[in-house]
């Protein structure tokens, strides 16, 4: 199966590292013109330069903008007026007892994890619909369905993201544009390494920390290991292609079997 995205213009929000970076790399490998995004100009350009080094000839550029704000979304629109592929990957997470999460933290998580996606879809979906082709994918989480007790505020935003993308898929019905979510399971990123260390103890060697985390905090994973970012990226590349033309309004699982259900 060959995924060909030559000539397609793609933006991956929050893509200077982790899952977002892996998605940007996968889309660039398939021939897309890729925009890498982060909040800081230096880190954003460094990520774009790294991709160009890894993939000689790839069309990759960086656009720095804080997409958790309305101003940042407008900055992106000015820099990138039209898109064919939008991947809403930007997100924040962290463990905190739910009774300690104050109003400002609830709002911050909703702004970054949900409204960033809403704003970008609102900006770019109409153009996709007019041109008769487009792909919108949101990176959700198993936490959207299995609410983690240590991250209720995070899980809430991912549940909302499923509803948002399903609703926009309905708005785009019959236009040639697809809108989907990807339910990513526990994934090995630098941020997750820190998160795991906070839960199981920073003095524990990484291999043992990972095993303890999966055993004690994610025991229903059928993989029984953390997912690698590239494994999420493979699904996004497929959804971004012509091959996924009949898949829309869905929540596709790359969760390692963590969600204990036959369908989402």
Q: Which residue has the tokens 């948002």?
A: 164
Residues 109-140 have pLDDT tens digits of 999 999 999 999 999 999 999 999 999 999 99
Q: Cα separation of 252 and 144, whole Å?
A: 12
Quickly list DSSP for 133-147. -EEEEEEEEGGGTS-
**What's the confidence (pLDDT) of residue 263?**
80
**What's the confidence (pLDDT) of residue 218?**
86
Q: Would you please indicate which residues are annotated as catalytic (active-site) residues?
A: 154
Distance (Å) of CA 123 to CA 95, 165, 245: 32, 14, 22
Q: Cα separation of 137 and 42, whole Å?
A: 26
- For the chain, residues with pLDDT lower than 70 are 264
Q: How far is CA 16 from the centre of its chain?
A: 12
Taking the domains of the chain in order of start, what are their residue ranges?
9-187+228-251, 188-226
Q: Would you say domain 9-187+228-251 falls under CATH 3.30.565.10?
A: no
Q: Cα separation of 79 and 229, whole Å?
A: 27
Q: Cα separation of 35 and 27, whole Å?
A: 10
Q: Cα separation of 221 and 223, whole Å?
A: 5
**What's the confidence (pLDDT) of residue 207?**
87
**What's the confidence (pLDDT) of residue 202?**
76
**What's the confidence (pLDDT) of residue 198?**
86
Q: Where are the alpha helices (DSSP H) in 172-205?
A: 190-200
182 and 140 Cβ atoms separated by less than 8 Å:
yes
183 and 261 Cβ atoms separated by less than 8 Å:
no
The residues with which 86 forms a beta bridge, in sequence order, are 11, 136
Can you read off the two tokens belonging to residue 78? Answer: 């000015």
Q: Where are the alpha helices (DSSP H) in 55-151?
A: 70-79, 103-110, 116-131
Q: How far is CA 135 from the centre of its chain?
A: 14
């Amino acid at each position: 199966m060959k995924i060909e995205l030559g000539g397609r213009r793609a933006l991956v929000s929050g893509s200077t590292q982790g899952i977002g970076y892996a998605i940007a790399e996968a889309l660039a490998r398939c021939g897309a013109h890729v925009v890498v995004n982060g909040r800081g100009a230096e880190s954003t350009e460094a990520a774009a330069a790294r991709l160009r080094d890894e993939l000689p000839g790839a069309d990759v550029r960086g656009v720095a903008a804080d997409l958790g704000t309305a101003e940042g979304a407008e900055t992106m629109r000015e820099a990138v007026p039209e898109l064919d592929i939008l991947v809403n990957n930007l997100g924040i997470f962290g463990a905190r007892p739910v009774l300690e999460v104050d109003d400002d933290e609830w709002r911050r998580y909703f702004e970054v994890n949900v409204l960033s996606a809403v704003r970008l879809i609102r900006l770019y979906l109409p153009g996709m619909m007019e041109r008769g082709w487009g792909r919108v994918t949101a990176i959700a989480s198993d936490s959207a369905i299995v609410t983690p007790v240590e991250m209720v505020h995070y899980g809430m935003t991912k549940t909302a993201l499923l509803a948002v993308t399903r609703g926009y898929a309905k708005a785009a019905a019959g236009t040639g544009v697809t809108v989907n979510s990807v339910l990513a399971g526990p994934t090995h990123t630098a941020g997750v390494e820190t998160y795991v260390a906070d839960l199981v103890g920073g003095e524990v060697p990484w291999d043992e920390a990972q095993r303890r985390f999966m055993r004690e905090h994610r025991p229903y994973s059928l993989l029984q290991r953390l997912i690698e970012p590239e494994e999420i990226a493979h699904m996004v590349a497929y959804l971004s292609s012509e091959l996924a033309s009949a898949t829309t309004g869905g929540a596709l699982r790359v969760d390692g079997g963590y969600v204990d259900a036959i369908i989402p």
